Structure 1
Amino acid sequence: MANEIVAPLPGIFYRRPAPDKPEYVLEGDEVKPGDVIGLIEIMKTFYEVKAEESGVVDKFLVNNEDTVEAGQQLLALK
């Protein structure tokens, strides 16, 4: 059964901490509760999006710098 990580709030989703830094996680990476998987920016303030359960990143459902809504699925875990 696949699980998803959803956006806790609306904003712009970023997969990396800065343009010149590597992505937090890639498809196929294992994550544990508390691991940062991305950032959401609202009005120049950045909020970390963290995994709430363990799993392997199956697929990102949004792209880097996409605008997301609260509750929108960001990635699927397997």
Structure 2
Amino acid sequence: MPTVDVKSAIPGTFYRSPAPGEPPFVAEGEHVSADTVIGNIELMKQFNEVFAGVDGILTAFMISDAEAVDSDAVLAIISTD
């Protein structure tokens, strides 16, 4: 199955859930569509949604919750249908 890397468009801090103590937007192994939000990147107190960008199965997150990321960092890997 082909895979797609979901990359960060901006530097900041990556969050897998919408707020502390809440469940993640999506878990590994779940089906996602192109418009599924998989996380947020906080940059200068602004939150920017990260979308899957493709349809498939989110196979792995490459970044931990609340981890700093650079532009173009691979955040997750999606196996396409």
Listed as ranges, the gaps of 5+ residues in structure 1 are none
Partner of 1:58: 59
**What amino acid maps onto 1:34 in structure 2?**
D
TM (normalized to structure 2)?
0.92
TM (normalized to structure 1)?
0.96
| C-alpha distance in 2 between matches for 1:56 and 1:23 | 15
Runs of 4+ in 1 over 4 A off after TM superposition: none
Partner of 2:15: 14
Q: How many residue pairs get matched?
A: 78
Listed as ranges, the gaps of 5+ residues in structure 2 are none
RMSD: 0.7
Seq. identity, %: 36
Q: How do residues 1-78 of structure 1 correspond to structure 2 at under 5 angstroms?
A: 1-78=2-79
